[in-house]
Amino acid sequence: MSQDTQTLSMLLEAYIAKKKRLSWSTISQTKPAWKHLIAAVGDMDVADFRYAEAEDYESYLFSLGLRARSVKSYLMAVRPVFGWATRHKYAASNPFEDYKMPRVPAGEIHIYSQAELRDILAVANLRWQALIMTAATAGLRKSEALNLRIDDVDFERQTITIQPHKETNDAWDWAPKSFERRTVPLAEEVSNLFCTLLADEIPNGQPYLLLTEKQYGTRRQQLQQGRLTDRQRLRPDEGFNNAFRRIRQRAGILQGTFHDLRRTCLTHWSYHLPVQELQKLAGHADIATTMRYYLAVRGDVLDLIKKHTLTVTQTNRGDKI
């Protein structure tokens, strides 16, 4: 890529080619955002893109009928590309670096109650019990659970290590979202589930703990044939979401996602840990993400306030009498 006139489409192509560590999910978010950007301002010279064009992009997104949360996600998706362009002298500055993002109402953190977790586990098979409890007690993301290798579990120390893995003949390369290594506690109940899985369902030679023998066999064959996609490396169980939804519905739980199990774990950890420690255990790159668990007003706090308010009201009435 020369330093002559470079269009937006050329910039994205160069960015993806150079940034080898970009995950499939990041690329899948960036490409549609960039498509909308070009639709909004044209395939213009990167060096001519200024704050005004960023504002035009935001206006265009709102004109499509998108909500503020979606508009913000598109703006956030293009910002790293312009940051990269600035560092490589394709642009004088990043127009999105100090861009005022649309205000988005803080979303409520949905967590499962103890009763809901018991009901979900009651209708799940052994593998799904292990998946559910791994997320609910160790805070693993879906991709982290599905790519968990047997060697990542230390049964003696009762820990799980989430870490990048290099590709071998029998296992694909993978890295967690933050690309960093972290260690989280292994609950005794989860340890027992893992041991049962290893004894009853995981064949010798399979490195992955929470994939079925059939799932692993299919992905291993695709890997050796050079047909394993980035999406499949990230989510080797492609029927995962539908399977979990069916489990939740059989349990009579009206709402909730698998990721809410991780949110449930992090919420309970937030009751006992300082924010910096929770950030490390959660694998959050941005501490602002972690702070959401501390800023959320919990039901027990609301009940306490209501009780106190009722006491004050009754006392005031007594004074008047």
Q: Quick check: do 8-87 and 114-265 share a fold?
A: no
Tens digit of each residue's pLDDT (9 = 90 or more) over 186-220: 999 999 999 999 999 999 999 999 999 999 999 99
Mean pLDDT on 48-74: 92
Residue 143 has what pLDDT?
Answer: 95
- Res. 177: pLDDT tops 90: no
- Percent pLDDT > 90 in the chain is 72
CATH topology of domain 8-87: DNA polymerase; domain 1 (1.10.150)
* Contact (Cβ atoms closer than 8 angstroms) between residue 220 and residue 167: no
* Contact (Cβ atoms closer than 8 angstroms) between residue 54 and residue 99: yes
Cα dist from 210 to 61, 122, 201, 279, 281, whole Å:
40, 18, 10, 25, 21
- For the chain, the C-alpha Rg in angstroms (whole number) is 24
Q: What is the mean pLDDT of the chain?
A: 89
Cα dist from 308 to 141, 295, 298, 314, whole Å:
38, 21, 16, 10
* Structure-model confidence comparison of residues 307 and 88, the more confident one: 88
- Res. 5: pLDDT tops 70: no
- Res. 141: pLDDT tops 80: yes
Tens digit of each residue's pLDDT (9 = 90 or more) over 230-250: 889 989 999 999 999 999 999
Tens digit of each residue's pLDDT (9 = 90 or more) over 25-45: 788 889 999 999 999 999 999
Residue 305 has what pLDDT?
Answer: 58
The structural domains of the chain, with segments of one domain joined by +, span 8-87, 114-265
Residue 20 has what pLDDT?
Answer: 75
Tens digit of each residue's pLDDT (9 = 90 or more) over 263-284: 999 999 998 899 999 999 999 9
Residue 317 has what pLDDT?
Answer: 44
What is the residue type of 130? A
CATH topology of domain 114-265: hpI Integrase; Chain A (1.10.443)
Tokens in use for 73?
Answer: 């996600």
- Res. 321: pLDDT tops 90: no
